[in-house]
Structure 1
């Protein structure tokens, strides 16, 4: 399989590939629809594009490649950098060549990356906009609280801040209403959101973020992968006689992790099984509260993925069968 390594940027991207004579070639393609289409139409059959995941810079390339059924693999820059060993020097052509070499060496590990559906893609943009507005409103509210300690305050400045807070609140409510309407209009997303919100502790905001970041639970297909994405999956840390136990990684999605921890807190209050589990681990075994919350969040993900796989709503009266009673074949 011929690998085309691509270093993406906002205005153009560098492409590295091996031609029919076995010589490394380098070309530059403008990151515009017409130029990308001409580049893709010239690619040979059976090739694969490997690129570093750089956010929205690669969305147009991914969408046009999906239309032409050209396999694309987007890989994190961290993984590429730590797999090629010690390197000196840096430039766009060199980065493209290193991405190509990564694809050639790890061809068996490359996974297809697909452009999400139009609904999920629009939801992703709306959610990012909502998150930005929420942060801006939080900053303004903090300023207003700090202004209470001023000996003198400007009435004009205070009115402008309050107006902006109200405007941001209206915009956030409008975006949430739009997102809810889009999910309700899509039968598949509506069913997934309904199942997610049936689990005690998981609300509409977390359900929407999980749908967006997991590609409606298809791109991230297991609870373990979702926990790894959020940075709540424990991994062992031992070598030889040294065993430091299991620890979570600090490289996860902090926003998703915060939401899952809030869901865990809510589940402890409203989910009887989780409340008993928290009491056992925290009050009897004296585990740290963050360890308990991390375990509860993992349990919620396992329940959620199991329900989505079955296509069923959460049943509070459900009792798991004792595995010891199963007949052995």
Structure 2
């Protein structure tokens, strides 16, 4: 459905913003660029009518200034998944890739798909800090593991390398402490995180990740929450043909990895272990079985969060009865 509201697309870089207004009758809209600075963005915002729809790709932190200022000015802002935008741009039969083509495609995407997109809401300072800490912790752990793998079996400089790893481990402890301190600044978030920790398999790190996500986005139901993690099975059917289901894998891959590891950990509990073995006996691989359990953990986490009540271990048998 084409929106009558003015729709703008932005291609964002660290220093420059390319922008255009969508036109339902042509892709060849005029594109201009402005510096990615607050004064220039505010100056441009004064030239457009109130209530516009403004779309941009998520680009680390470069899009945040535009998104926050446009939201403050009363516009509807969409921060788009780059993978979704790339798929849409291919459907426009573009003969190449450039800032101009991307800008026009994003504007067209907002024009045609805006009704089904989720508007951007700026995070609070606490939510911003928590998300940053969790993301930086993930990057830190990746680098530590990369160093360990590169030095495996090499005795050269081993004392110095061991000292470096000890420093990494100490900094990792500091990361975890900062995450805990950040959540503790909000009594309600702290209580919610403690409730999440009552779920089998959900530990300090996974509970912090769930807290960051659930406090930020008001998911309509548990299905939406599972889909946001990319843990929803994607059908591939046509006529009489029923294809093999695979995960959509949309969303943050680190969040998906953490909930998968939580499912593995949950199988230390006899009930979850029995469920995993039952799934494997039905022909699923262990990885697929853990994905089923991960989906259940997400649904349980959503129920615990929305009900504001701790998980009842007595209900675990019922939760495991119907995968």
Shift of 1:24: 4.1
- In the other structure, the counterpart of 1:128 is 135
Q: How does 1:255-274 map to 2 (within 5 A)?
A: 255-270=254-269, 272-274=270-272
2:279 & 2:37 partners in 1: Cα distance? 55
Which protein has the larger Cα radius of gyration, Structure 1 or Structure 2? 1
How many angstroms does 1:107 deviate by? 3.1
Determine which of 68, 72, 88 is the counterpart of 1:63: 68
CA displacement at 1:92 relative to structure 2: 1.7
Give 1:219 shift: 4.9
Task: Confirm or deny that 1:232 pairs with 2:239.
Answer: no
1:210–1:217 contact (8 Å) kept in structure 2: no
Please, which runs of 5 or more residues in structure 1 have no aligned partner? 322-329
Task: Give the whole-Å Cα distance in 1 for the aligned partners of 2:233 and 2:271.
Answer: 21
Kept after mapping to 2: 8 A contact 1:8/1:54: yes
Moved more, 176-185 or 230-239: 230-239
* Counterpart position of 1:10: 14
Q: Does 1:197 align with 2:197?
A: yes
Cα distance in 2 for residues equivalent to 1:99 and 1:136: 34
Which whole-Å deviations, capped at 9, do the CAs of 1:181-239 have from their partners, x for residues lacking one?
11011123212211211111111111122233x25262545432333333321122111
Q: What SS does structure 1 have at the residue aligned with 2:141? A: helix
**Residues 1:298 and 2:305 aligned together:** no
Selected match of 2:122 from 95, 115, 119: 115
Provide the TM-score with structure 1 as the length reference. Answer: 0.85
Distance 1:90 1:140, change over 3 A: closer
TM-superposed CA distance for 1:51, in Å, is 1.4
Corresponding residue for residue 246 of structure 2: 247
1:41 aligns with 2:40: no
Q: Number of paired residues?
A: 309
Aligned to 1:82: 87
Mapped contact 1:63–1:115 kept (Cα < 8 A): yes
Conserved in 2, the CA contact under 8 Å of 1:50 and 1:72? yes
Higher RCO (CA 8 Å, separation ≥ 6 residues): 2
Deviation at 1:251, TM superposition (A): 4.9
Question: More deviation in 234-243 or 252-261?
Answer: 252-261
Aligned partners of 1:3 and 1:47 also within 8 Å: yes
Residue of structure 1 in register with 2:153 after alignment: 146
| 2:217 match: secondary structure | coil
1:279 and 2:286 are equivalent in the alignment: no
Instruction: Determine if the alignment matches structure 1 residue 178 to structure 2 residue 172.
Output: no
1:206 matched residue in structure 2? 206
Partner of 1:96: 103
Distance 1:31 1:219 in 2: 30
Paired residues of 2:20 and 2:32 also in contact (CA < 8 A): yes
Distance in 1 of aligned mates of 2:36 and 2:64: 10
The structural deviation recorded for 1:173 is: 1.0
CA deviations on 1:140-177 (whole Å, 9 max, x unpaired) are 333443214xxxx4xxx333322221221111111110
Q: Could you tell me the TM-score, scaled by structure 2's length?
A: 0.86
Given that 2:58 and 2:82 are in contact with CA atoms closer than 8 Å, whether structure 1 keeps it comes out as yes
Contact kept? 2:133, 2:175, Cα under 8 Å: yes
